[in-house]
Amino acid sequence: MQVQQILKSKGTDSVVTVKPGTSVIDAARILAEKRIGTVVISSNGTKALGILSERDIVYHVARTGPSVLTDKVDTYMTSNLVTCQLADSADSVLERMTNGRFRHMPVVEEGEMVGLITLGDVVKARLSELAMEKDALEGMIMGH
Ligand code: AMP
């Protein structure tokens, strides 16, 4: 299974982005409103400059205090982004997420973001693929 199929099964390829200079509290409001775990920082909506996750916010507020909330997302985002491409396999993405200990990955083609997949998206897609394989094997064994 490829990233392309995972994105298709999600039904949306839109990525929630905020511009550099956005405050952390505004980013947190977007996370809460949309019930998501990360925002991608981008000036034009397609070139990813960094990612800010709920974990970053919790970590920095706990360490520094509530003043973090009025700082800019740029200060706390992870700019060393790990991305994937449409043709990458689900297994390779799972491996990179597990090794890097993060749950989100922008999908980038020729420098432009074309979607974002989460650990949950990949696990769900892999489980349904495994269930189909199991049914097919059972069918073969039972002679259906
Ligand atoms: P997450 O598990 O995605 O909430 O993120 C955990 C940590 O990894 C946070 O510090 C994020 O900023 C960072 N992070 C999330 N996604 C990525 C990614 N694709 N590449 C690099 N770092 C990431």
For 57-115, what is each residue's pLDDT tens digit?
999 999 999 999 999 999 999 999 999 999 999 999 999 999 999 999 999 999 999 99
| pTM of the model as a whole | 0.90
Q: How far apart are CA 6 and CA 89, in angstroms?
A: 10
Report the distance separating Cα 113 and Cα 48, nearest Å.
7
Q: Which runs of consecutive H residues, i.e. helices, occur in 35-118?
A: 54-64, 73-76, 90-100
CA of 127 to the centre of ligand 1 (A): 23
Q: 134 CA distance to ligand 1 centroid (A)?
A: 33
The pick from 36, 39, 41, 53 for probing ligand 1's pocket by mutation, whose C-beta has the most ligand atoms within 8 angstroms, reads 53
d(C-alpha 91, C-alpha 115), whole Å: 18
For the chain, what is the radius of gyration of the CA atoms?
A: 18
pLDDT, position 72: 98
pLDDT for residue 32? 98
- Amino acid type, 140: M
- What value does the mean pLDDT take over residues 124-138? 89
Residue nearest to atom 16 of ligand 1 (CA): 104
104 ligand 1 Cβ < 6 A: yes
Atom of ligand 1 nearest to the CA of 106: 19
Domains, the chain, ordered by start: 3-142 (3.10.580.10)
Once rounded to an integer, what is the mean pLDDT over residues 15-43?
97
